[in-house]
Amino acid sequence: MAENKRALVTGASAGFGRAVTRELAARGWELIITARGVDRLAKVQAETGTYAVAGDIADPAHRAVLRDVVGDERLDLVINNAGALGPSPLPALDRYPLAELTAVLETNVVAPLAILQSTLPALRASAGIVVNISSDAAVGAYEGWGGYGASKAALDQLTAVLAAENPDLRVYSFDPGDMRTDMHQAAFPGEDISDRPEPETVVPVLLRLLETRPSSGRYTAADLAVAR
């Protein structure tokens, strides 16, 4: 009998992370999930039978707990989905609070790298996959998105270099596009975002990426959907 695949998913309590967790669990994956929202994470855990560890990935103590939970067992996949938007409403760069920018970079760049540093041995043992969730704000200049966009651009570069340094792995930046999530709503306070797709509609595209294992690189949900 084939061994179940094993994954770590951050930001799993809501939005895209929750949708991915539900689908992977339904497919028999053994999952370790984490997020800051204790109650929502517990609900996802109850729904999916996953192993949940509540906490903030920007906290080194929490990352140490995750490292111990992952242990030395094989790890087939890490999805760095947890992220921070920054101030809402989104401020222009000339008045962006620098302490807030530091916090965004800590969550969106430093923490994903720290998680990967601790899990790479297990990923290498199974020729695994890394998925760092990106954004079109990493490559486009949108007013108000300077802080978040800069963090995702940095994450894209980190991802590309990690791929070059680990040719036996598959290392992806994945841009899911606009979705109807709490974070996207916070970026547009008071606006109606019901025209954005639900996160569940994007999950099949990510699964196709995982199943086909193309060369490491940056992929968008829109491009992958067209290439189907």
Q: For residue 61, give both structure tokens.
A: 């103590």
Angle between helices 98-105 and 146-165 (to 10 degrees): 30
Q: Are 193 and 177 in contact (CB under 8 A)?
A: no
Angle between helices 203-212 and 15-26 (to 10 degrees): 60
First to last CA, the chain: 31
Q: What is the pLDDT of residue 67?
A: 96
Q: What is the pLDDT of residue 1?
A: 36
For the sheet containing 170-175, what is the strand order?
51-54, 30-35, 6-10, 77-80, 129-133, 170-175, 217-220
Q: What is the pLDDT of residue 85?
A: 96
> pLDDT digits over 165-194, tens only?
999 999 999 999 888 887 888 888 888 989
Q: For residue 27, give both structure tokens.
A: 């497919």
Q: What is the pLDDT of residue 227?
A: 67
Give residue 14's identity as a one-letter amino acid code: A
> pLDDT digits over 194-225, tens only?
998 899 999 999 999 999 999 999 999 999 98
**Position of tokens 């992220």?**
83
Q: Where are the beta strands (DSSP E) in 81-191?
A: 129-133, 170-175
Global model pTM greater than 0.85? yes
CATH superfamily of 6-226: NAD(P)-binding Rossmann-like Domain (3.40.50.720)
Those residues of the chain that have pLDDT short of 70 are 1-3, 227-228
